[in-house]
Amino acid sequence: MRARNAEHAAFAPAAADHDAIRKAAQLLPRPLRFLGVGGLGLIVDLAVFTLVISHGMHPLLARLVSLAVATLVTWRLNRALTFERSGRRAADEAMRYAAVAASAQGVSYAVFAVLVLTVLSTVPQLAVLIGAAAAALFSYVGQSLFAFRPPQPGAAAAPATASPRAAP
C-alpha cells in the first residue's frame, strides 16, 4: 500500500507543475496565449523544416512534414493552455482542430509555395514565416468558434422539434 502511495506521490509534482503552468497561462488574455502557443509551434515548424531540407528534401515536401509536426504540437498546447475544455471527447476535438488547422495550413502552405517558388527561393525560412503569419488570424477564429467551442445545449434536438408532425 505504501509503495503504491509512493508511486502516486512521485507523479504528483509533475501534475502540480502542469496545473501551475495552466493557472499562470490563464492570467493572460486568450489571444496572447494563442500567439504564445503559435510562436512555439512556429519554432517547431522552422526547426523541423530546416532539419528536413538540410537532408536534401525539396522545400515543398519538407514544409508538409514540418506543418504536420507543428500542428500536433499546437493542438496539444492549445487544448491545455489556450482554450477552455469544449466538453467533447479528445478525438472529436482533434478532428475539429484538424479541420480548421488544415484550412489554415492550406493558406499558410499556399503563401509559402508561391514565395519559395519565386522571390524567396534562397531563403525558404522567410517564406515559412510569412505563410504562418498569413494563416494566424484565420486559425484563431476557426479554433475559437469551431474546434474548441462547447456544444450548444439542445442543438442536436432542435431539428427534431423544429417541424411538427403532420396529423394523419
Confidence tier at 164 by pLDDT (50, 70, 90): very low
> Phi-psi bin for 68: left (phi > 0), alpha (psi -120 to 50), beta?
alpha
Is residue 136 one of the residues assigned to a domain?
Answer: yes
For residue 135, being part of any structural domain is answered with: yes
Residue 10 lies in a domain: no
Which cell numbers hold the place of 49? 523544416
What is the Cα gyration radius of the chain? 21
pLDDT in tens, 61-99: 999 999 999 988 988 898 888 887 777 787 887 888 888
Q: HEC states along the chain?
A: CHHHHHHHHHHHHHHHHHHHHHHHHHCCCHHHHHHHHHHHHHHHHHHHHHHHHHCCCCHHHHHHHHHHHHHHHHHHHHHHHHCCCCCCCHHHHHHHHHHHHHHHHHHHHHHHHHHHCCCCCCCHHHHHHHHHHHHHHHHHHHHHHHHCCCCCCCCCCHHHHHCCCCCC
Q: Could you give the number of structural domains in the chain?
A: 1
> Per the structure block, which three cell numbers stand in for 156?
442536436
Amino acid at 24: A
pLDDT tens across 1-45, in order? 444 444 444 444 455 556 788 888 888 898 899 899 999 999 999
Expressed as residue numbers, the domain containing 110 is: 28-150
Between 78 and 161, name the one with better pLDDT: 78
Residue 20 lies in a domain: no
Q: Is 84 among the domain residues?
A: yes
User: End-to-end distance of the chain based on CA atoms, in angstroms?
Assistant: 68
- How many of the other CB atoms lie within 10 Å of CB of 114? 14
42 is a domain residue: yes
Residue 97 has a pLDDT of: 82
Confirm whether 107 is domain-assigned.
Answer: yes
Establish if 156 belongs to a structural domain: no
